[in-house]
Amino acid sequence: MDERKQQILQAIIDDYISTAEPVGSRTIARKYNLGISPATIRNEMADLELLGYLEQPHTSAGRIPSVKGYRFYVDCLLAPPQISERDIQIIDNWYQTKARRIDEVFQETAKILSRMTRNVSMVLAPQVSQCMFKYLQFLPLDERRSIVVIVTDTGLLENKIIEIPEGLSHDDLGRVAAAINSRLGGLAVERITTPMLQDIQNDILPDPQLYERAVSLLKHVLATEKNEKIYLGGTTQMLNQPEFRDVDKVQGLLSMLEEDRLLCDILHMANSDGVVVTIGQENKYTGIHDCSVVQATYRIDGQVVGTVAVLGPTRMEYGKTMSVLKFMQRHLGEILNKYKVL
């Protein structure tokens, strides 16, 4: 594609993203200083349509970008801006004032992404099976009850209140926790097996009642290790987009957003190196063929543990969305590291 066609295509896509209205040659000539006449622009637009980069809705004389046009725009024409200092400050302040627990970090990440991009956001939290067991701890609640807590290296935790077996003190529980931690500390959760837990009971925990209560939480973690949790933000944002004024289309999309397994499948398409953009019919599922998904993985201690993503119409503001996700890709691991404490 020659430079003039590229300039016209970029102007059309920028204008359509901004207005949601099909773009005509006179609009391009009036709003963009390309130094060519409307007639020349009209001829170039016809060529771009023949090449598959533009489409012409039957109700309008203007053109809109095709999936092929958006793809060329994202890959070859777009230079995503650096995220502004103001946006960075908004993100930092948001976490400082709203996130107090590890699960709140994911919830608030989804909210801030949807607020900044004005689209649906999705955050895939780390899989337990990807985590390392860090430690188990008993926290005294009262004389007869304790909270047993399991913490992983990514800061994820599970907790449960247990009754302290007769004849045992909080000091005894501390020694039990130390014994479990010495055996399991540093192991990947997916490598902790039921026979391994049984060995701990036989060698270290003579009280079967305490064993069942102390490691029941570990068993729960192991049983659900493959479950991934999706946090959504801004699901009502789509109602403000002109593309989704069709009630049936919105209902179908909302129904799809309730399918966690399907969303997890979509979010596993990101690679570990950068931001991935899938546009319209490039998406695997027909339910989002009118949408684009922009996503990026994030890391903790160098290990990819989850995904952040934005879903919106193909007319989304790709540059802003990609710059925000690039920042979150770097920043979210740092945020999560602050919560890896008890």
Q: Are 64 and 23 in contact (CB under 8 A)?
A: yes
Q: 157 by DSSP, 3-state: which? A: strand
- H or E stretch at 136: strand 133-140
Residue type, 96: Q
- H or E stretch at 87: helix 85-98
pLDDT of amino acid 26: 92
Sign of the Cα torsion 197, 202, 205, 208 reads: positive
Q: Packing angle between helix 318-337 and helix 85-98, nearest 10 degrees? A: 40
Nearest by Cα to 321 from 181, 120, 176:
120
User: Token pair of 328, please?
Assistant: 């979150």
In this prediction the pTM is 0.73
Nearest by Cα to 110 from 325, 333, 334:
325
Q: Are 220 and 239 in contact (CB under 8 A)?
A: no
Q: Packing angle between helix 38-50 and helix 3-19, nearest 10 degrees? A: 90
Q: Are 288 and 250 in contact (CB under 8 A)?
A: no
Q: Packing angle between helix 260-267 and helix 247-257, nearest 10 degrees? A: 80
Domain boundaries, the chain: 3-77, 85-125+228-337, 129-223
Spatial separation of the C-alpha atoms in residues 333 and 129, rounded to whole Å: 18
pLDDT in tens, the chain (342 residues): 899 999 999 999 999 999 999 999 999 999 998 999 999 999 999 999 999 999 988 766 789 999 999 999 999 999 878 888 888 888 888 888 776 667 778 888 999 999 999 999 999 887 555 567 888 888 887 777 888 777 776 655 566 777 777 777 788 788 778 878 888 888 877 677 777 877 777 766 656 666 666 666 666 655 554 556 788 888 777 777 888 777 677 777 777 887 877 888 888 766 667 899 999 999 988 888 889 999 998 887 777 778 899 999 999 999 999 999 999 988 887 787 765 543
Nearest by Cα to 87 from 340, 319, 337:
319
**In angstroms, what CA-CA distances link 29 with 4, 5, 17, 26, 156?**
13, 14, 17, 5, 55
Q: 338 by DSSP, 3-state: which? A: coil
pLDDT of amino acid 341: 40
**In angstroms, what CA-CA distances link 77 with 3, 7, 34, 44?**
11, 9, 16, 17
pLDDT of amino acid 342: 34
pLDDT of amino acid 220: 62
Q: 29 by DSSP, 3-state: which? A: helix
The CATH number corresponding to 85-125+228-337 among 3.40.50.12280, 3.40.50.300, 3.40.50.740, 3.30.450.40 equals 3.30.450.40
The CATH architecture assigned to 3-77 reads: Orthogonal Bundle (1.10)
User: What are the b/e assignments for 115-153, b being 16+ CB within 10 Å?
Assistant: ebbbbbbbbbbbbbbbbbbbbbbbeeeeeeebebbbbbb
The CATH architecture assigned to 129-223 reads: 2-Layer Sandwich (3.30)
Spatial separation of the C-alpha atoms in residues 180 and 135, rounded to whole Å: 8
